Amino acid sequence: MSGSYLARRFGSALFTIVLIILVNFILFRALPGSPERVILRGTPNVTPAQLEAARERWGLNDPVFPDQFVAFLGATVSGDLGYSFVARGQTVGQVLGQRIWPTVILFGLGELVAIVLGLALGAYSGWRRGGPVDVVGNGLSLVLYSTPYFLLGMALLLVFATGLRWFPTFGMLTAGADYPDIWARLGDFGAHLVLPLATVGLGLVGQYAIVMRSSIVETLSEDYVTTARGMGLREGRILRHHALPNALLPTVSLIAINLGYVVAGAITVEVVFNWPGLGTLAVEALTARDYPVLQGVFLLLSVSVVLANLVADLVYGVLDPRVRT
Amino acid sequence: MTAAGASWSPPIPAGRRAGRFDLLFRLIRRPEGAFGVLILATFAALALAPELFVGPLQTAVTAHGTRLSPPSAAFPLGTDELRRDMLNLTVHGARVSMAIGLLATLVTVFIGAVVGIVSGFVGGRVDAVLMRITDFFLVIPTFVLALILTPIIRDLVGSGSTEILGIRMTLIVIVIVIGITSWSSTARIIRSQTLSLKARAFVDRARVIGAGSGHIMRRHILPNVINLIVANAVLVFAGAVLTETTLSFVGLGDPFQPSWGQLLEAARSVGAPGLGAWWYFVPPGVCIVLVVFAFTLVGGALDDLLNPKRRGRG
């Protein structure tokens, strides 16, 4: 992998992250009321002296650009995202820290399930184009692709939690439960995880299957596949050794590009199941107009997506020598 | 494509001479196109005149059912927690969802087309800056940005009961936010088409006879990318309906003009799935899936018919 390819990828990701911070910077200043009023929100009977002190303390008397922006950039990079308006005395970092793991577990596992199932389904239906799996799978994929995640979640909730009573309806652990050991706790967690995980998996599987199917169809029409057939190789071997490795390539970057949309779905799935992750946090912050927390969620999710795209670009560079220029 | 630039080629696709409805006929000749158009026509009728089908929008005051009752002869789709008829709400929801989707699509496609044409045609530093911004919007999770922008813009313009085109200000803000956050892929597509058009001879000829850049972009580039814009707009519409639904679902809708997403939000906050009240969220849910599905089908079919890169392959 050439140095300039690496440098360009890293440079572009860094630039995007600075832009994200710039958007946060502008948004905070676009809030109704002057910044010092926003900072002193909830403090009764603010005197002009207090206002002036706040302006001085927060550097609001300095020029907006570059002084204030550089200070903001520095604070953001060092992890200082300010204080939550609602959770008094807690920094945005602390609030985010409490909610990050449920989201990572739910979406990490959901992505994994969807990628494995989606790619397998897509590859098989593309290979047996026009067959029963292809026809049913393709139709189903399109319908799933058109369904908002939360709707899927509500349907699963209705059938499997309310109707059949197989799984609990909300939360991550049973409220007030006392666990004899770690395994009981883990079991309860697992029971709560099934439906949200199924929702995320089903929501994503359609897109991945569609992408993989068209990719494998395209690959199977390449000359080297015809050559392999001409050499008398068995179909299964052609699929596994010749078509699949190349067909997988475009899915790498598409999965990364899709992450931005997955995040939107993530938020709503968590809301449906009351899963205590970043999505429910975002909606709580939205309802309470807790802008620092909302901006923290935006920063965290955006930077994660940018970094995931960077990783995908690098992986792609390793897998496909043609893009390393 | 550049080789063809040497000989004169008609700047307007031949399809236009064959009549205005030619495209529609070609579209409904494909089974998926016909299916999509049929669904969309149905919902367009509901959206245009919901009063014709179910009377005026019911409110908590005019409602006359019982609370959260399952479907019956009097209420074929049951009632909500405010005793309102779900059939009435769902049909009126079509108007709100489709109107916001349409307006948001217009804003999105307008921004995307302007950025794409200017970026591709002017080139140089302008192109570099515009494409940087486009890439930024392509990669970040724009929905989360919309989540922050909506309440901030709403606070800035003030809520009140101002209406534009009969749509409340809260929903106009949603239209603007969807427009701001979803134009990037349109801009990319239009830009690449503009780049290949720019290299063709009729652009040079226009310049030689003294046409300015603005004139060439409006009169020579735009007519040649309009097909692409239309095909893209259909797909943008599907995305806009989904985004509006999701924003409403997290509590940014308007209870006084309930869209399908707003109904789903109400259903969730009442706990309809937990109460087994399926009739509360299945009707608006099915409508959303049908509309998005139909737009995706029609968009894909149009893309095959109109996109020069894909034409002849479909």
Q: Is A158 on the interface with B (CB under 8 A)?
A: yes
Is the CB of A267 less than 8 angstroms away from the CB of B147?
yes
Give the model's pLDDT for residue B7: 41
Contacts of B273 in chain A (CB under 8 A): 154-155, 157-158, 161-162, 169, 272
Contacts of A23 in chain B (CB under 8 A): 145
Say how far apart CA B139 and CA B267 lie, in whole Å. 32
Contact of A199 with A156, CB cutoff 8 Å: yes
List the structure tokens of A85. Answer: 């308006």
Give the model's pLDDT for residue A245: 81
Q: Is A291 on the interface with B (CB under 8 A)?
A: yes
List the structure tokens of A53. Answer: 């002190």
List the structure tokens of A251. Answer: 């899915």
Contacts of A85 in chain B (CB under 8 A): none
Residues 6+ apart with CB under 8 A from A258: A204, A207
- What is the interface pTM, i.e. ipTM, of the complex? 0.82
Give the model's pLDDT for residue B114: 95
What's at B159, amino acid-wise?
S
What's at A127, amino acid-wise?
W
Give the model's pLDDT for residue A249: 82
Contact of B90 with B284, CB cutoff 8 Å: yes
Give the model's pLDDT for residue A38: 65
Give the model's pLDDT for residue B119: 94
Å between A311 CA and nearest CA of chain B: 13
Q: Most B CBs within 10 Å: which of A18, A20, A154, as the mutation test of the B interface? A: A154
Give the model's pLDDT for residue B111: 96
Is the CB of B267 less than 8 angstroms away from the CB of A154?
yes
> Around A115, how many Cα atoms within 13 Å sit in the side-chain half-sphere?
16
Contact of B227 with B251, CB cutoff 8 Å: no
Q: What is the pLDDT of residues B116-129, one digit of tens each?
A: 999 999 989 999 99
Query: Confidence class of residue B33 from pLDDT cuts 50, 70 and 90?
Result: confident
Q: What is the pLDDT of residues A89-104, one digit of tens each?
A: 788 888 888 888 888 8
What's at B109, amino acid-wise?
V
Residue B311 has pLDDT above 60, yes or no: no
Contacts of B289 in chain A (CB under 8 A): 143, 146-147, 151
Residue B217 has pLDDT above 70, yes or no: yes
> With a cut of 50, which residues of chain A have pLDDT below it?
none
C-alpha separations of A135 from A50, A54, A248 in Å: 69, 65, 21
Which of A142, A146, A154 is the closest to B273 by Cβ? Answer: A154
Contacts of B152 in chain A (CB under 8 A): 27, 30-32, 291
Which of A32, A267, A305 is the closest to B250 by Cβ? Answer: A267
How many contacts (CB atoms, under 8 Å) link A and B? 139
Please state, rounded to an integer, the average pLDDT across all residues of chain B. 82
Å between B15 CA and nearest CA of chain A: 28
Q: What is the pLDDT of residues B55-113, one digit of tens each?
A: 777 777 776 777 777 777 777 777 777 777 777 888 888 888 999 999 999 999 999 99
Give the model's pLDDT for residue B69: 72
Comparing A34-48, B40-54, B127-141, B252-266, the range with the smallest average pLDDT is A34-48
Instruction: Look at B302 and B241; give whichever has higher pLDDT.
Output: B241
Instruction: Kindly report the number of other CB atoms within 10 A of residue A192's CB atom.
Output: 21
Say how far apart CA B289 and CA B42 lie, in whole Å. 14
Query: Confidence class of residue B178 from pLDDT cuts 50, 70 and 90?
Result: very high
**Nearest-CA neighbor of B266 among B277, B255, B282?**
B255
Please state, rounded to an integer, the average pLDDT across all residues of chain A. 81
Say how far apart CA B285 and CA B287 lie, in whole Å. 5
Helix (H) and strand (E) counts for chain B?
Answer: 14, 2
Closest alpha carbon within chain B to A148 = B242
Residue B212 has pLDDT above 80, yes or no: yes
